[in-house]
Structure 1
Amino acid sequence: MIRKEEVYRIGRIGKPHGVHGELQMQYSDDVFDRADAAYLVLDMEGILVPFFMDEYRFRSDEIVLMKFCDVDTAEQARQLTGSIVYFPCRLAEAAGGDSLSWAQIVGFTLQDARSGQVIGEIQSVDDTTANILFEVRTPSGTDLLVPASSELITDMDTTCRTIKAHIPEGLLEL
């Protein structure tokens, strides 16, 4: 059984493309193209299920046309529409070398490097602007935007899934 902590989110299945089971997949990380992986993991009503890739081709910087094994009709493809797509962490680590993609750090715990205080869990990374931000959910349930500048990050532990960063003074009081 595949557990949620063994994978990270890389995309979402869109609508079928054609009549032979091909799907559009919007992706945030093209690790499936860089890694030696035969499958992607789809969330099927809360159960993580591996789907073996038959072939794929890039349509744009955000869309790939994906064909899974044994998904041969538009109706079968339509049943997968809206599914969240995940990638195995262990395969990404083998393919990625020393650097992690922004998508891989979702779920990491953010800590203040000075005090050791847990700020919260990284829910997503907003890289749509020049200043990249971590979207963090605090233990009390509130959401914070924290700068994800490399100058502020002091340590990253992929085994413990933690990032230590210098949190700008006054940010937590906002």
Structure 2
Amino acid sequence: MPEDPHVVARIGKPHALRGEVTVQLHTDDPQTRLAVGNVLPTRAEAGTGVPRQLTVASTRVHRGIWLVGFEEIPDRTGAESLRGTRLLAPEGDLAEDDTAEGWYEEELAGLEARDPEGTVIGAVVGLDLGVGQDRLVIELPDGSRTLIPFVEAIVLTVDVEAGHIVVDAPAGLLDLGREEG
């Protein structure tokens, strides 16, 4: 089975009324990847009606945030439907900077979270993509959720095949940002 194409960007919220969206970049070369005229495959939840590919009509940076418009999306309503969609590098067109080891949210969700001694502390239920760093969403045994910075100093091991991650959380980290589930 071939590997999924790498994510170039993840679409966020709509911006203004003409169909532009904010994007969270996952590439070091956005000028090339998001150049006007590029056709990018998409990955979205089934049944959302998101086109299988989008053609970049415009790009600009506004207050440090990348805004992208697509030929297929004429207005804010269409832009709203794109929220959460991933823009992918065309197959066979991966830049060297896009090939670093990484995990898709789908691969991480469902993994058991353990401490370094092997005690289960919860389960990964999602990935919260951040500007400075990504965070794993962990559901704790009591049903509440917390965010764990997805950095090597805290997430020591990700073993998708074995079905678990090892988290060395500093004291109190599991209680920060804790939300009732």
Q: TM-score range by the shorter chain?
A: 0.5 to 0.7
Residues 120 and 170 (structure 1), Cα distance of their counterparts in 2 relative to 1, 3 Å cut: same
Q: Which residue is equivalent to 2:117?
A: 114
After superposition, where does 1:92-103 map in structure 2 within 5 Å?
94-95=94-95, 96-100=98-102
How far 1:143 moved relative to its partner? Answer: 0.8
Higher helix proportion: 1
Q: Which residue is equivalent to 1:134?
A: 136
How far 1:110 moved relative to its partner? Answer: 5.4
Q: Which residue is equivalent to 1:59?
A: 61
CA contact (8 A) 1:51 1:68 kept: no
Q: Does 1:29 align with 2:29?
A: no
Q: Which residue is equivalent to 1:80?
A: 78
Residues 50 and 16 (structure 1), Cα distance of their counterparts in 2 relative to 1, 3 Å cut: farther
How far 1:28 moved relative to its partner? Answer: 1.9
TM-score, normalization by structure 2? 0.56
- Cα displacement string for residues 97-120 of structure 1 (whole angstroms, at most 9, x for unaligned residues): 22438xx44762352243162622
For residue 16 of structure 1, what is the amino acid of its counterpart?
Answer: L
Q: Which residue is equivalent to 2:169?
A: 167
SS in structure 2 at match of 1:28: strand
Higher strand proportion: 1
How far 1:155 moved relative to its partner? Answer: 2.0
For residue 67 of structure 1, what is the amino acid of its counterpart?
Answer: F
Residues 68 and 30 (structure 1), Cα distance of their counterparts in 2 relative to 1, 3 Å cut: farther
| The one of 150, 153, 156 aligned to 1:154 | 156
**Percent sequence identity over aligned pairs:** 9
Q: Which residue is equivalent to 1:11?
A: 11
Q: Which residue is equivalent to 2:179?
A: none
How far 1:161 moved relative to its partner? Answer: 7.8
Residues 100 and 37 (structure 1), Cα distance of their counterparts in 2 relative to 1, 3 Å cut: farther
How far 1:51 moved relative to its partner? Answer: 3.5
How far 1:53 moved relative to its partner? Answer: 1.3
In terms of mean alpha carbon deviation, does 154-163 or 144-153 score higher? 154-163
Residues 49 and 139 (structure 1), Cα distance of their counterparts in 2 relative to 1, 3 Å cut: farther
How far 1:124 moved relative to its partner? Answer: 3.9
The whole-number CA distance in structure 2 between the counterparts of 1:124 and 1:166 is 18
The whole-number CA distance in structure 2 between the counterparts of 1:106 and 1:62 is 26
Q: Give the number of aligned pairs.
A: 157
How far 1:58 moved relative to its partner? Answer: 2.4
Residues 119 and 88 (structure 1), Cα distance of their counterparts in 2 relative to 1, 3 Å cut: farther
